[in-house]
Amino acid sequence: MKLTKKSHACVRLDKEGRTLVIDPGGFSEEDAAVGADAVLVTHEHPDHFDEGRLRAALEANPAAGIWAPRSVADQLAAAFPGRVHTVGHGDTFHAAGFEVEVHGELHAVIHPDIPRIANVGFLIDGGRVFHPGDALTVPARPVETLMLPVMAPWSKISEVIDYVREVGPQRAYDVHDALLTDLARPIYDRQIGALGGTDHRRLAPGASTDL
């Protein structure tokens, strides 16, 4: 499996000639989802869900489908009948040759005055990759590669470190990093690497690695 980091929270997974894209939002490249055989969306916030990017993916590949919480799926289902699938915690399905489990229900608390929305995480191929979206969800099985939301308005670094410790992955790659400046990155790298208890890595947008 090849993992390609796109800008912010978006990643592409390639296996056996097929492509799965997760969270091609408004902070990601315009063509972040183009070429995908399947697209997974964790929640409705615009840095994870951009309707134009999803439409481009589905129009480019008539066989492509989308799996997302109802708040996202309802915005696209009428335009692409039969190709948009609503998922929630506990669901399992196959997409583009990948086995997917859905874990989690709610977005992390941003502020007590802001209502929480639906957020799901996607566990790929029995734990080889886990993308939690905007929550610190711990799936009920071991994780090899954690896509780690490293910096967000709803988190602080101590929570990120404790999350890595609780999940206990073999390795963690940063996502949700568009708000993290280059000046601050070494601080996050050093602290998470020293205290997280796992192999903490970072890929530049467009860079790939084999898992």
Q: What CATH number should be reported for the domain holding residue 144?
A: 3.60.15.10
The pLDDT value recorded for residue 157 is 97
Interhelix angle 157-167/185-195, nearest 10 degrees: 40
> Which residues constitute the domain of residue 130?
2-210
Instruction: Tell me what pLDDT residue 110 has.
Output: 97
pLDDT at 111: 97
The domain total for the chain is: 1
The list of the chain residues with pLDDT below 70 reads none
83 φ, ψ to 5°?
A: -115, -5
Task: Please name the residues in contact with 113: beta carbons below 8 A apart, sequence gap of 6 or more.
Answer: none
Is residue 50 within 8 A of residue 75, CB to CB? The reply is: no
Q: What is the pLDDT of residue 37?
A: 98
